[in-house]
Amino acid sequence: MAEIPDDEYILKTTSACAGCSIPLCLRYITKAAGPDTVLVIPACCTSVIQGLYPNTAVNIPIYNVAFASAAAVASGMSEAFRAAGKKTNVICFGGDGGTVDIGIQALSGALERGTDFLYICYDNEAYSNTGMQRSGATPLGAATTTTPTGKKEFKKDLDAIVNAHNPVYMATACSAYPVDLYNKVEKALSIPGPKFMHILAPCPPGWRYPSDKTVALGKLAVQSGMWVLYERENGKMSLTGASKAAAKKRIPVEDYLKAQGRFKTATKENVAELQQMVENNFKRIEKEVEGIC
C-alpha cells in the first residue's frame, strides 16, 4: 500500500453538501497529483463548490471552463506545458453529464490525439448541480426530476466507448475506497499519454439517502457488482480491491437499490434487469481478465 501524503490541498471547506463524494475524491486525487497540477473543470457541482470569488477552497490551480470544452482545453494546455518543457499534470475533473453526454466529443478527440493528460469523470449519475435531471449515466429505474417514475433506459457504457480509443491507462474507482483511488491516480499520472478514470460518486440529495451513508452506499455498489473496480494498463484488464471478491460472490443488487430513495419507484422487472446486467458484466469481465476476449 502506498504511503499517502498528509498534505491537504482542499482547504476547509468547499460548499459541497454534507456527505458529498466530490471533496472526498478531490482530497485523494490532489494528494496523488501534488502541487504541480492544473485541474480543468467543466460546469458541474465542482465548479460551484470551490467557494465564493475572489476566494477558493482548492489550493491547486483550476481552470473553470465551458461545459463541452474540458478535454479540448486540457489538450491545448498539455501541449503548451510540454512545449515549455514542463511536466505539470493536466487533469480534467468533470461530472457524468459533462462527460457521458455533453463533453464526449472533446474527450474522444483528446484521447485520439494522444494528449498527455488524465480525464476523470466523477459520476453521481445525474445533472446534480441543476437539480438532479437524468443524464446518460443515470441507471435504469432511477427516479430523477426528469424521470419521476424511473428511467426507462440503461446507463450508457462510457467505459466501453473510452476503451475503444485504446488509452494507455484507464481505471474505475469509487469515493468509498479512497486508497484504491489514490493508487490509481498516482499510477495514471506516472504514465505519459491519454489516461481516463471513472469514479462512482454517491450524492446524498440526488440519490436520496442520509448524508452519513455515502461510504456505505459506495461499498454496497461494489459488493453488489453495480460498480466494478478495475484497471486496464495498455489493454490488460485486472480487477482491484473489493471487486476481486465481488467477482466470486456478490450481495443482491436489491440490497444496493433499497438503500436509496431514487429507486423507490423501480419495478420488479427493473430490479431483475439490473441483476441480469450485473451477471452479464461479470461474465464479460472474467473472460477479459483471463485474456479470452
Partner 1 sequence: MSAKLAISKPKEGAAGKTGTWRTFKPVVDMELCNKCGNCERFCPDGTISKDFEIDLEYCKGCGICAEVCPKKAIKMVREE
Using CB under 8 A, list all residues that contact partner 1.
6, 8, 10-16, 18-24, 27, 49-59, 175, 178-179, 204, 210-216
236-239 and 230-233 strand pairing:
antiparallel
Number of chain residues interacting with ligand SF4 (CB under 6 A): 13
Beta carbon nearer to Mg ion, 124 or 147: 124
> Which three-class secondary structure state does DSSP give residue 42?
coil
In whole angstroms, what is the distance from residue 172 CA to residue 159 CA? 9
- Interaction with Mg ion in 110-139: which residues (CB under 5 A)? 124, 128
**From 10, 22, 120, 121, residue interacting with ligand SF4 (rule: CB under 6 A):** 22
Q: Which of 150, 149, 130, 153 is nearest to 141 (CA)?
A: 150
Residue 27 touches which of Mg ion, ligand TPP, partner 1, none (Cβ within 5-8 Å per kind):
partner 1
Residue 203 touches which of ligand SF4, partner 1, Mg ion, none (Cβ within 5-8 Å per kind):
ligand SF4
- The region of 17-25, 86-94, 226-234, 237-245 touching ligand SF4 under the rule CB under 6 A is 17-25
- Which residues fall within 8 angstroms of residue 140, CB to CB, at 6 or more apart? 150, 151, 152, 153, 154, 155, 270, 273, 274, 277
**From 69, 89, 115, 124, residue interacting with ligand SF4 (rule: CB under 6 A):** 124
Residue with cell 467557494: 51
Tell me if 144 contacts Mg ion by CB under 5 A: no
Return the amino acid letter for 261. Answer: G
Report the nearest approach of partner 1 to the CB of residue 227 (Å): 17
Q: Which of 221, 213, 207, 282 is nearest to 255 (CA)?
A: 221
In whole angstroms, what is the distance from residue 231 CA to residue 173 CA? 9
Tell me if 111 contacts ligand SF4 by CB under 6 A: no
The backbone region for 256, taken as left when phi is positive above 0, alpha when psi lies in -120 to 50, beta otherwise, is: alpha
Residue 205 touches which of ligand SF4, ligand TPP, Mg ion, none (Cβ within 5-8 Å per kind):
ligand SF4
Which residue lies nearest Mg ion, judged by its C-beta? 95
In whole angstroms, what is the distance from residue 271 CA to residue 278 CA? 11
- Interaction with Mg ion in 82-111: which residues (CB under 5 A)? 95-97
Report the nearest approach of ligand SF4 to the CB of residue 213 (Å): 12
Neighbouring CB atoms inside 10 A of 23's CB total 20
CB 278 within 8 A of CB 243: no
Binding site for ligand TPP (CB under 6 A): 43-45, 67, 95-98, 124, 126-130, 135
Report the nearest approach of partner 1 to the CB of residue 55 (Å): 4
**Site residues, ligand SF4 (CB under 6 A):** 16-17, 20, 22, 45, 49, 124, 128-129, 203-206
